[in-house]
Structure 1
Amino acid sequence: MASIISKLKELDDLPQKVDSEISNLEKHEKAVKSEAKTLEDLQQKSGNRFPGSDYHPSDRKNWMNGLDPQKIPINKIIWPGTHDSATNEIGIPDITRPFAQCQSLSIYDQLVLGTRVLDIRVQEDRRVCHGILLSYNIDVVINDIKKFLSETSSEIIILEIRTEFGHDDPPEFDNYLVGELSDFLIHQDDRVFDMTVAELLPKRVICVWKPSKSAPPKSGDPLWSSAYLKDNWIDNDLPWTKFQSNMKYLSEQPPVSNRKFFYRVENTVTPQANYPDVVIKSVTWRIHPYARLFISQCLSKDYVDRLQIFSTDFIDEDFVDACIGFTFAKIEGKA
Structure 2
Amino acid sequence: MSSSPNSDDNGKKNPLDAMGAFFSAQVNRRKLVTTQKLAMSERCTSCGDEFPGCAHRPADRKTWMAELGPDRLRVHQVVWPGTHDSATNKIGIPFITRPFAQCQSLSVYHQLALGCRLLDVRVQEERRVCHGVLATYSVDVVLDDVLRFLAETQSEVLVLEIRTEFGREDPPDFAKYLVERLGEHLIPQDEAVFGKTVAELLPRRVICVWKPRKSPAPGRGEPLWSSGYLRDNWIDTDLPETKYESNLKFLGQQPPARDRRYLYRVENTVTPQADNPVVCVRPVTNRIRGYARSFIAEAFAKGLGDRLQVFSTDFIDGDFVDACAGVTKARVDGTA
Do they fold alike, i.e. is TM over 0.5?
A: yes
Query: What residue is the counterpart of 2:3 in the other structure?
Result: none
> Which residue type is aligned with residue 66 of structure 2?
N
Q: CA 1:120 to 1:7, structure 2 compared with 1: closer, same or farther past 3 Å?
A: farther
- Partner Cα distance (1:159, 1:96) in 2: 26
- The alignment partner of 1:42 has SS state of helix
Query: What residue is the counterpart of 2:4 in the other structure?
Result: none
> Which residue type is aligned with residue 268 of structure 1?
T
Q: CA 1:208 to 1:6, structure 2 compared with 1: closer, same or farther past 3 Å?
A: farther
- Partner Cα distance (1:7, 1:81) in 2: 59
CA distances 1:286-333 after superposition (whole Å, capped 9, x unpaired):
000000000000100001111100000000001001100111111111
Aligned length: 330
How many Å apart are 1:7 and its aligned residue? 11
> Which residue type is aligned with residue 104 of structure 2?
Q
Matched, 1:51 2:52: yes
Query: What residue is the counterpart of 2:278 in the other structure?
Result: 277
Query: What residue is the counterpart of 1:104 in the other structure?
Result: 105
Which runs of 4 or more aligned residues in structure 1 lie more than 2 Å from their structure 2 counterparts after TM superposition?
5-10
| Structure 2 spans left out of the alignment, 5+ residues | 1-6
Does the 8 Å contact 2:272/2:284 carry over to 1?
yes
| Structure 1 spans left out of the alignment, 5+ residues | none
Query: What residue is the counterpart of 1:311 in the other structure?
Result: 312
Query: What residue is the counterpart of 1:26 in the other structure?
Result: 27
Query: What residue is the counterpart of 1:150 in the other structure?
Result: 151
- The alignment partner of 1:69 has SS state of coil
User: What root-mean-square deviation, in Å, do the aligned CA atoms of Structure 1 and Structure 2 show?
Assistant: 1.2
- The alignment partner of 1:286 has SS state of helix
- Partner Cα distance (1:129, 1:144) in 2: 17
Q: Percent of aligned pairs with the same residue? A: 55
The 5 Å alignment of 1:244-255 reads 244-255=245-256
- Partner Cα distance (2:238, 2:84) in 1: 15
- The alignment partner of 1:287 has SS state of helix
- Partner Cα distance (1:258, 1:325) in 2: 21
TM-score (normalised: structure 2): 0.96
- Partner Cα distance (2:58, 2:218) in 1: 35
How many Å apart are 1:8 and its aligned residue? 5.5
Q: CA 1:194 to 1:94, structure 2 compared with 1: closer, same or farther past 3 Å?
A: same
Worse-matched range after superposition: 323-332 or 112-121: 323-332
Query: What residue is the counterpart of 1:171 in the other structure?
Result: 172
- The alignment partner of 1:182 has SS state of helix
Query: What residue is the counterpart of 1:63 in the other structure?
Result: 64
- Partner Cα distance (1:9, 1:179) in 2: 66
The 5 Å alignment of 1:169-318 reads 169-318=170-319
How many Å apart are 1:218 and its aligned residue? 0.2
Does the 8 Å contact 2:8/2:14 carry over to 1?
no
Q: CA 1:149 to 1:300, structure 2 compared with 1: closer, same or farther past 3 Å?
A: same
- Partner Cα distance (1:193, 1:54) in 2: 26
